[in-house]
Amino acid sequence: MEPVYKKVLLKLSGEALAAGKGFGLDFDKVLEVCKSVKEVVDMGVEVAIVVGGGNFWRGREGGGMDRTRADHMGMLATVINSLALADALEQLDVPVRVQTAIEMKEIAEKYIRNKAVRHLEKGRVVIFGCGTGNPFFTTDTAAALRAAEIDADVIFKATNVDGVYDSDPKINKNAKKFDELSFIDVLNKGLHVMDSTAASLCMDNNIPILVFNLNDPNNIVKAVKGEKNGTIVK
């Protein structure tokens, strides 16, 4: 089956990379996710990745910490995840480059938009670390921003839930899952797809978001083939 998207920004939840452990990295899981990424790359799709850092640290849970400093720690957590993903992709012979929004040149390239686009054209996966490089912004917003910058067709938000519900399915057994939503619905109803900054950015730039579960990494391949999966916001 032909891919329905040519350029994809894959937003991976850090927590999903911890699998059942809840903290840190489950390397079997990381490899499993990267195998699906490889499958998609082999189909000729350009893949950029933004990864969260919640498996190591959440800025907003920094207790009495200064929010900016707590967010800086969160950005460093995304770099750990980026490097782990890069390593797993290289083990699978997938060419990959890591670019960070905050310069750490001994570890990774710094973010240069045109260079990222060129890497993608050459069939390399590009992983964007450090979120947007700014405190008070989430990695979902980083995904929306980078997707707009590289002109991605879609954002795949691969997470711990299998789509968007009208209420929390863990609490309400009768929660209803949406197949399709508009950005205005998401913003007006306060649905927890992504934060409002990220959702607004996607709405203003016409970038659809497909939300699906990463428990089965093959969902990434399904999504690229346009098979029914999760919830699409457009």
Residues that bind ligand GTP (CB under 6 A): 97, 105-110, 118, 122
Cβ proximity to ligand GTP, 31 vs 104, nearer residue: 104
State the minimum distance, in angstroms, from the CB of residue 99 to ligand GTP. 8
Q: How many CA atoms within 13 Å lie on the side-chain side of 154?
A: 21
Q: What token pair was written down for 48?
A: 């950029």
Cβ proximity to ligand GTP, 83 vs 187, nearer residue: 83
Cβ proximity to ligand GTP, 107 vs 175, nearer residue: 107
Cβ proximity to ligand GTP, 122 vs 189, nearer residue: 122
State the minimum distance, in angstroms, from the CB of residue 96 to ligand GTP. 8
Which SS3 state, helix, strand or coil, does residue 109 take?
strand
Q: Which long-range contacts (CB under 8 A, 24 or more apart) does 26-33 make?
A: 27/84, 27/88, 30/84, 30/85, 30/88, 31/88, 31/91, 31/92, 32/217, 33/85, 33/88, 33/158, 33/214, 33/217, 33/220
State the minimum distance, in angstroms, from the CB of residue 93 to ligand GTP. 14
State the minimum distance, in angstroms, from the CB of residue 95 to ligand GTP. 8
